[in-house]
Amino acid sequence: MSAMLKPIIGKEAVQIEITNACIYNCANCTRLVGHHQKPYMMDLDYFKTALDSLKGIPIMIGIMGGEPLLHPRFKEICQYLQKMFPPEKLGLWSTLDKRFKHYAPLIAATFGAVLPNNHTHKQIFHSPVLVSSREILYGHYLDAVKSCWLQNNWSSSINPQGAYFCEVAAAIDLILKTKTAFDIHTVWWRQKPAAYLKQVKVLCSKCGVCLNLTTRRDTEKIDDIDEWWLSRLQKTSPKVKAGLFKRYTGPIFDQHQVQVNQFRSDLRYFHRIAKQFGLKLVLQRNGYLKPFVR
Ligand code: SF4
Ligand code: SF4
């Protein structure tokens, strides 16, 4: 099994998720926004320890949320990023909402890449997260995880509980609290895939991303949730209490007609979001968009 999991240093980036508060409430959010009783804001000292743990990592370091610009200490976070790493090593994933426009110079001075996404693109879809792969595939869920497109394409992640081989596993564990996070006081990202297996067993087994379920447009706002998760969330999740969900009873492995990452080739979408924020994005050789103040 472990031979099929992508090593952390072979992934697109490693994320530090400084908050899981967000200004949106997208359908099937991969951060499970809306399901936490109280969103967190990462403690500044913890953030510094998390960043220190990444010294020497050969891939991009991303700052992400939720919406990272909601963090009340975003300025100090950027100052520490500038002290520790050059801009070309750092990326920001954000909605770049106009209300945070005053951060444009700080963002341009800190990050060598910005990935703006306000989830308004017509081709942005999320497949269900809150469908337990083990409930559907029993022991065979491990085969689905080995070909899970998200762990093969995206990031590992640090949140206030520690570090995880997959960013969605990190979000799931904020609810399940399985105590399987890597300790950020160690060089955790050097761990070999065999060390991810504990997280796979308790977190991927509860995740539906590897099942390629029917996608939903982000702007629909509701989540597809199976019985296992509903019984877990119905007393605690504000999103479930508000009725923003649909019981998942549909087929599996049927989303092949919809490419969830199709929107990434629409550069006009990214330029449009950046422009209203006061930033100009310039395409770099590595395929990322570097921010400049307009
Ligand atoms: S998917 Fe939507 S709700 Fe979830 S973190 Fe991103 S912008 Fe926020
Ligand atoms: S199944 Fe879910 S938690 Fe596991 S690797 Fe895929 S996206 Fe991550």
* Nearest CA residue ID for atom 5, ligand 1: 66
Pocket of ligand 2 (CB under 6 A): 145, 148, 150-151, 166, 168-169, 203-204, 207, 209-210
Contact 218, 125 (CB under 8 A): yes
13-40 burial code (b ≥16 CB/10 A, e <16): bbbbbbbbbbebbbbbbbbbbbbbeebb
For residue 119, the tally of other CB atoms under 10 A from its CB is: 17
* Nearest CA residue ID for atom 1, ligand 1: 29
Average pLDDT value over all residues in the chain: 92
Q: What percent of the chain has pLDDT over 90?
A: 79
Helix residue ranges, H only, 191-237: 197-202, 227-233
Residue 120's pLDDT band (cuts 50, 70, 90): confident
Half-sphere exposure of 156 (CA within 13 A, CB side): 30
Average pLDDT over residues 112-128: 87
Q: What is the pLDDT of residue 257?
A: 52
Please determine, for residue 1, whether its predicted confidence score (pLDDT) is greater than 70. Answer: no
For residue 204, the tally of other CB atoms under 10 A from its CB is: 29
Residue 256's pLDDT band (cuts 50, 70, 90): low
Q: What is the pLDDT of residue 173?
A: 98
Please determine, for residue 3, whether its predicted confidence score (pLDDT) is greater than 80. Answer: no
Ligand 2 pocket mutation, candidates 168, 178, 198, criterion most atoms within 8 A of CB: 168
Average pLDDT over residues 21-42: 95
Please determine, for residue 55, whether its predicted confidence score (pLDDT) is greater than 90. Answer: yes
Atom of ligand 1 nearest to the CA of 34: 3
Ligand 1 near 26 CB (within 6 A): yes
Please determine, for residue 188, whether its predicted confidence score (pLDDT) is greater than 90. Answer: yes
Q: What is the pLDDT of residues 241-254, one digit of tens each?
A: 999 999 998 766 56
The CA 110 to ligand 2 mean position distance, Å, reads: 30
Structure tokens at 176: 């399940």
Classified by CATH at the fold level, domain 2-263 comes out as TIM Barrel (3.20.20)
Please determine, for residue 258, whether its predicted confidence score (pLDDT) is greater than 80. Answer: no
Q: What is the pLDDT of residue 186?
A: 97
Contact 255, 127 (CB under 8 A): yes
Atom of ligand 2 nearest to the CA of 149: 6
Which helix (H) or strand (E) segment is 241 a member of?
Answer: helix 238-241
Ligand 1 pocket mutation, candidates 23, 24, 118, 217, criterion most atoms within 8 A of CB: 24
Q: Map tokens 């006081």 to a residue.
A: 185
Ligand 1 pocket mutation, candidates 218, 219, 263, criterion most atoms within 8 A of CB: 218
Ligand (nearest to CA of 146): 2
Q: What is the pLDDT of residue 205?
A: 97
Ligand 1 pocket mutation, candidates 17, 20, 23, 26, criterion most atoms within 8 A of CB: 26
pTM above 0.75, yes or no: yes
Q: What is the pLDDT of residues 122-174, one digit of tens each?
A: 778 888 999 999 998 998 999 999 989 898 889 999 999 999 999 999 999 99
Average pLDDT over residues 99-127: 92
Q: What is the pLDDT of residues 174-184, one digit of tens each?
A: 999 999 999 99
DSSP code per residue over 37-64: SS--B--HHHHHHHHHTTTT-SSEEEEE
Query: What is the torsional sign of CA 172, 177, 178, 182?
Result: positive
Average pLDDT over residues 33-52: 97
Report the relative pairing of strands 113-116 and 90-94 from DSSP bridges.
parallel
Structure tokens at 146: 């080995």
- With CA atoms as reference, report the closest residue to 254 among 222, 206, 215: 215
For residue 136, the tally of other CB atoms under 10 A from its CB is: 17
Q: What is the pLDDT of residue 121?
A: 79
Average pLDDT over residues 196-215: 94
Q: Where are the beta strands (DSSP E) in the chain?
A: 13-17, 60-64, 90-94, 113-116, 125-126, 156-159, 162-164, 216-217, 223-225, 245-247, 279-283, 289-293
The CA 35 to ligand 1 mean position distance, Å, reads: 12
Ligand 1 near 65 CB (within 6 A): yes
Please determine, for residue 264, whether its predicted confidence score (pLDDT) is greater than 80. Answer: no
Residues 6+ apart with CB under 8 A from 115: 91, 92, 93, 94, 270, 288, 289
Q: What is the pLDDT of residue 279?
A: 97
